[in-house]
Structure 1
Amino acid sequence: MEKKFIVLYGSQTGTAEEVAERLWKKIKCLNFQGFVKPMDEYEVVRLIHEPLVIFVCSTTGQGEEPDNMKNFWRFLLRKNLPAHSLAGVSFAVLGLGDSSYTKFNFVAKRLYRRLIQLGGTALTPIGLADDQHDLGPDAVVEPWEKNLISSICNRYQIPIEIKLESPGNFLTRYKAIVVPDAEVSESLLLSEKESEKERFQKGWSMECPVDAVVRENTRITSENHFQDVRLLKFSTDSLEYSPGDVLMVCPHNLKENVDKFFEVTSFKPEQRICLHTNDPDVTPPPSKFRSVSEGGGGGITVRECAETVWDLSRQPGRQTLALMSTFSTNELEKEKLEELASTEGQDDYLSYVCRPRRSMIELLADFPMTTAALTLDQTFDVLRPIRPRAFSIASSSKAHPGEIHLLVAVVNYKTRIVTPRLGLCSNWLARLSPGEKIPIWVRRGSLRFPSEPSTPLIMVGPGTGIAPFRSFISEQVAMNNASADKLVLFFGCRNKSGDYLCGNEWENWRRDNKIIFFCAYSRDQPDKVYVQHLIKKEGDTLKKLLLDKKGMFMIAGNAKFMPTQVKEAMLEALEIQENQEEFMNMLETQGRLQTETWS
């Protein structure tokens, strides 16, 4: 049997890409030849010739496929594809999702069913990873991965006892070559000098962002409130966006973590390096990592890597610990890393990493001998890249021309570790000063606001969940379409004096009869009051707008308990006692019930 395979992924955030690369490495260790790619970069008509295909995909929005999977999925849905099209294909599907969403891993489930319909043979049952699990996605990914490897070994008669991550089997993706300071290539300089118009015509993306200037960075919660929430305003004339869109930001590591990195490693900050692939199946590194002779920009310094490439704040997964153990030259540290990475050491891993939210930089400091022995090649595998973060846009291009606003809750909390836990992106944004520039781009969000101005809309947005609704209402006001007979907003905060975000705006719009506004101040009275409590009291309003006038109901905010409780309150207010699930499914199918949440 020919030992060829491919790993295809679809993801909006990069998590699926990381998991796909990990699977690719493990299957390569079994002496297979294959590559890993986003689904839309793969020539899908060749799928019928592939003996082994691994799919890793996430779900976006209201059960939609990610952007880099849309064309692939559209092709698979063609009605003229014969039922036996994939009869020669063995496959496996791993979904990465969040069970706080109604359509949990919806895309992976649909893909799995469609591959079966087309005659494909499943090597192992579908894997449905859940961000809400205590161990995160790894709680499902790791056992699923083991089952997959076992199935592949059985199918191809490969000895199952092969140790996939032994030093002899493991190959780093890149070879890091230290080079003298090189001149930036002329081609790169030319590309940087492209006019804003030319770049805009190409479409903004991670590869082609726009520089936005920080105009304002204001704390909008009181100084004595436990939570620092920022209203950030950026100036840019080049970005077009609509209510419901999200702003993508790729943060830098915090200065203290960069300084700590060079304390615990043996790397020289100003060394310039270029990357070369160690395997022809590995995707070439971005231009900035390539030498001038290879059409790149002449390399990047190790300091730049520590500041803008490697994510020093993320929690290390068990796979990372296992990988570090293969590189470790110290027996005690090696043994401890292996123990933490093992299934038997799961409780220790929870206590060491998950519960205290230990970061990658702290792990490196806790295993100094292993860290000191790391090579630059290995570091590109041990440290994952900083991934862009998505923020719901809180402004309207019509109400705020030339600007784009964000509402950002700065993540800062304590665990049993003395040093406070700081969210990477929110703290980086909070430290920006007016006049600074950051690269940004816009992506379509999961919320689809009504296109018909007369459609009633009920919005529920506690805390910074208010952001997309501020965007929509601002636009309706600017277009003279806002009216209290069709726009209802439920907002929730702790107290009016502490975190009544953008309170003056809601009050003004309510006074001008632009919206009906309800606010739950959860701590301003002896009994806690949340948005769901107010929703239950507004049955007549909800029945009129949602049932009689066929309006829409939108929820945005924290994913933990709020969305479920709000939906239950809505059903109670509407007095829907029978066939509740069918009713909710009907609203979701029609796009009249939408949720945008985050952990």
Structure 2
Amino acid sequence: MAERGLLVLFGSQTGTAQDTAERVGREAQRRHLCCRVEALDSCDVANLIHEPLVVFVCATTGQGDPPDNMKMFWRFLFRKNLPAGSLCQLDYAVLGLGDSSYPKFNFVAKKLHKRLLQLGGNPLLPVALGDDQHDLGPDAVVDPWLIALWDKILALYPLPVGLEIISPDVRLPPKYTLHYLPEDFPHPESDLLQPAAPQAAPCELHPFAARVVSNQRVTAQSHFQDVRLIEFDIAGSGITFSAGDVVMIQPQNCPEDVQQFCQLLHLEPHRRFVLEPTEPGTSLPPLLPQPCTIQYLVTHYLDISCVPRRSFFELLAYFSTNELEQEKLQEFSSAQGQEELYSYCNRPRRTTLEALWDFPHTTCAIPADYLLDLIPRIRPRAFSIASSMLAHPERMQILVAVVRYKTRLSKPRRGLCSTWLASLNPEQGDVRVPLWVKKGGMKFPADPATPVIMIGPGTGVAPFRAAIQERVALGCRGNCLFFGCRHQSKDFYCQTEWEELVTKGFLTLFTAFSRDQEEKVYVQHRIRENRKLVWELLSSENAHVYLAG
């Protein structure tokens, strides 16, 4: 009989598709299938011709784009020279996750399904299109689709004689076992985050620890919004970038949250451990040093400030010794309880740490081995680069609006990365931030004579600051910027810089301060007022138009 193997491949931008793929993996485990769950770009695409059974779980980002961790796979799959029958041995199923309020709803899943068919693949089921807009979220489609999928798979690969599906009441083993090291185990000399220059260009697996040079508030103290202009020293990093590129920053949890988490779970922050995969062949988490401390794991890896998903409550219910708590956790992890879960978690943006506070009996019973199954890793955040290497060699600047807002919870919600960045004070010593650069979607004209019209309200002006600096350094004068904010005196970022460039003839600037007069004025009003100039630039000079915000 054919080996009962299943490969689950995901393309995920925010973690939802990965979470769903891992759910498929757990359900496969219960059916005694030998299952691997991987990001699409982590698998060797050429080996796809040898895979008999693959489930694809794909999100769609932006304007119908594939997520970052499946872009290489995407390019390979759509190569024109792939033979038509190359995947004729493949049984597959595609599950898409999207949002029907976007015009290209689930575009990636639909296109992938079609391409696999062209290459001779055999679909087990029609493509499933999960929708964020549904009252029950994507699970409204995912739940029934999975039931149908397992029916199909078990018809092809029946359970071995004498084995039954592992009941949902039985807790599956953790992905890793956490082995504590004795207190007197020798410490490695190396620092966990090396500031030394990497061998190749920095990337997610090997970020560069950039020194923070300055962290300046660019809004008035009286303004409700705290916005920072932060400068990093990238000398010796091998990093290069152009206007329109994006810097990825790996944030960390604040010390108070880390301390609370360790207290709640009765964890000793300074204990060191090594991880061992439960299943042979499972790779270790790439961004965790071995050995590692609990403090490092909670600070740099576990996303205790994210809004927990359904799978979090599902796993948590297994540890509960308290009947009331267990009942609530089981409700949150059931299909019928999704509306209730949305009201408890998503609407007020309740964090994982806060949810753990609400289930104290269960929380103190969580085995440390399950931490990496329970809580996802902290994802990097993207920021438009707000400076040019031509103007600031070996430096990089970003414009960061510190995220802070109220929900019905008493404590204000705070953005993990922006709050952490704002807290960094370079005057208190050598402060470093792990980062790397990604090509942006915004490309400025190769011909410096081509004029550019840039519309950048608020921090949307960041990539245009980089573009203007770059173009001014090259002597280009056709720079037209429409900038909007609330008050000229409170949040007109980089005012002096813009005014200096206007005086020198490098910049045409139009500003809209929405709250400085009774009638609200926005950038679109300024564009309408200056429509003759805009049309002239477009029709006679082939100007390029850019919008960010």
TM-score, structure 2 as length reference: 0.90
**What is the distance in 1 between the residues matched to 2:169 and 2:32?**
15
**Alignment-derived partner of residue 477 in structure 1:** 472
1:102-113 alignment to 2 at 5 Å? 103=104, 105-113=106-114
**Alignment-derived partner of residue 122 in structure 1:** 123
**Native 8 Å contact 1:461 1:492 kept in 2:** yes
**What is the distance in 2 between the residues matched to 1:143 and 1:103?**
18
**What is the distance in 1 between the residues matched to 2:384 and 2:401?**
12
Matched residues, number: 536
Give how far 1:139 is off. 1.3
1:325-344 alignment to 2 at 5 Å? 325-344=317-336
The one-letter code sitting in structure 2 at the alignment partner of 1:209 is: P
**What is the distance in 1 between the residues matched to 2:85 and 2:145?**
26
**What is the distance in 2 between the residues matched to 1:540 and 1:165?**
70
> Would you say 1:380 and 2:380 are equivalent positions?
no
Change (3 A) 1:210 1:170: same
**What is the distance in 2 between the residues matched to 1:366 and 1:287?**
30
**Native 8 Å contact 2:217 2:227 kept in 1:** yes
**What is the distance in 2 between the residues matched to 1:15 and 1:240?**
31
**Alignment-derived partner of residue 431 in structure 2:** 436
Which residue of 157, 182, 186 maps to 1:183? Answer: 186
Any idea what SS the aligned residue of 1:325 has?
helix
Give how far 1:167 is off. 4.9
**Alignment-derived partner of residue 231 in structure 2:** 233
**Alignment-derived partner of residue 49 in structure 2:** 48
**Alignment-derived partner of residue 252 in structure 1:** 252
**Native 8 Å contact 1:233 1:406 kept in 2:** yes
- Of residues 402-411 and 75-84 in structure 1, the stretch that sits farther from structure 2 once superposed is 75-84
Identity of aligned residues (%): 44
Which residue of 495, 499, 504 maps to 1:507? Answer: 499
**Alignment-derived partner of residue 175 in structure 2:** 173
1:320-469 alignment to 2 at 5 Å? 320-434=312-426, 435-469=430-464
The one-letter code sitting in structure 2 at the alignment partner of 1:476 is: R
Give how far 1:114 is off. 0.9
1:190-205 alignment to 2 at 5 Å? 196=197, 199=198, 201-205=199-203
**Native 8 Å contact 2:195 2:208 kept in 1:** no
Change (3 A) 1:60 1:462: same
Deviations 1:140-197 (A, max 9, x none): 15632541343232342479xx9878352523111111112543558x78x988962x
Deviations 1:367-417 (A, max 9, x none): 001101001111211111111111111111110112111111111111111
**Native 8 Å contact 2:32 2:165 kept in 1:** no
**Native 8 Å contact 1:23 1:145 kept in 2:** no
Any idea what SS the aligned residue of 1:319 has?
helix
Which residue of 507, 516, 519 maps to 1:527? Answer: 519
Change (3 A) 1:397 1:97: farther
Any idea what SS the aligned residue of 1:57 has?
strand
**Alignment-derived partner of residue 37 in structure 1:** 38
Which residue of 136, 146, 160 maps to 1:148? Answer: 146
The one-letter code sitting in structure 2 at the alignment partner of 1:156 is: L
Give how far 1:283 is off. 2.5
Give how far 1:555 is off. 1.7
**Native 8 Å contact 1:123 1:148 kept in 2:** no
> Would you say 1:81 and 2:82 are equivalent positions?
yes
Change (3 A) 1:59 1:339: closer
**Alignment-derived partner of residue 265 in structure 2:** 265
**Alignment-derived partner of residue 286 in structure 2:** 286
1:61-72 alignment to 2 at 5 Å? 63-72=64-73
> Would you say 1:92 and 2:93 are equivalent positions?
yes
Change (3 A) 1:362 1:26: same
- Of residues 419-428 and 440-449 in structure 1, the stretch that sits farther from structure 2 once superposed is 440-449
Any idea what SS the aligned residue of 1:373 has?
coil
Any idea what SS the aligned residue of 2:548 has?
strand
> Would you say 1:537 and 2:535 are equivalent positions?
no
**What is the distance in 2 between the residues matched to 1:193 and 1:46?**
35
**What is the distance in 1 between the residues matched to 2:22 and 2:175?**
10
**What is the distance in 2 between the residues matched to 1:164 and 1:17?**
23
Gaps of 5+ in 1: 291-298, 558-599
> Would you say 1:492 and 2:484 are equivalent positions?
yes
**Native 8 Å contact 1:275 1:289 kept in 2:** no
Give how far 1:316 is off. 0.7
TM-score, structure 1 as length reference: 0.82
Deviations 1:16-45 (A, max 9, x none): 444433332222222111212232332323
1:553-564 alignment to 2 at 5 Å? 553-557=545-549
Give how far 1:101 is off. 6.5
The one-letter code sitting in structure 2 at the alignment partner of 1:380 is: L
**Native 8 Å contact 1:13 1:388 kept in 2:** no
The one-letter code sitting in structure 1 at the alignment partner of 2:213 is: R
**Native 8 Å contact 2:215 2:228 kept in 1:** yes
Give how far 1:439 is off. 1.7
Change (3 A) 1:392 1:77: same
**Alignment-derived partner of residue 22 in structure 2:** 21
- Of residues 467-476 and 48-57 in structure 1, the stretch that sits farther from structure 2 once superposed is 48-57
**What is the distance in 2 between the residues matched to 1:194 and 1:304?**
17
**What is the distance in 2 between the residues matched to 1:93 and 1:55?**
5
**What is the distance in 2 between the residues matched to 1:513 and 1:476?**
13
The one-letter code sitting in structure 1 at the alignment partner of 2:112 is: L
Give how far 1:425 is off. 0.6
Deviations 1:41-70 (A, max 9, x none): 323233233222122334566655455434
**Native 8 Å contact 1:35 1:281 kept in 2:** no
Change (3 A) 1:99 1:517: farther
Which residue of 209, 212, 216 maps to 1:211? Answer: 209
Deviations 1:527-580 (A, max 9, x none): 2222223233333333333344433222212xxxxxxxxxxxxxxxxxxxxxxx
**What is the distance in 2 between the residues matched to 1:252 and 1:287?**
13
Give how far 1:252 is off. 1.1
Any idea what SS the aligned residue of 1:139 has?
coil
Gaps of 5+ in 2: none
**Native 8 Å contact 2:457 2:523 kept in 1:** yes
**Native 8 Å contact 2:130 2:141 kept in 1:** no
> Would you say 1:307 and 2:299 are equivalent positions?
yes
Q: CA RMSD in A?
A: 2.8
Change (3 A) 1:244 1:287: closer
1:515-594 alignment to 2 at 5 Å? 515-557=507-549
Change (3 A) 1:194 1:517: closer
- Of residues 78-87 and 97-106 in structure 1, the stretch that sits farther from structure 2 once superposed is 97-106
The one-letter code sitting in structure 1 at the alignment partner of 2:210 is: A
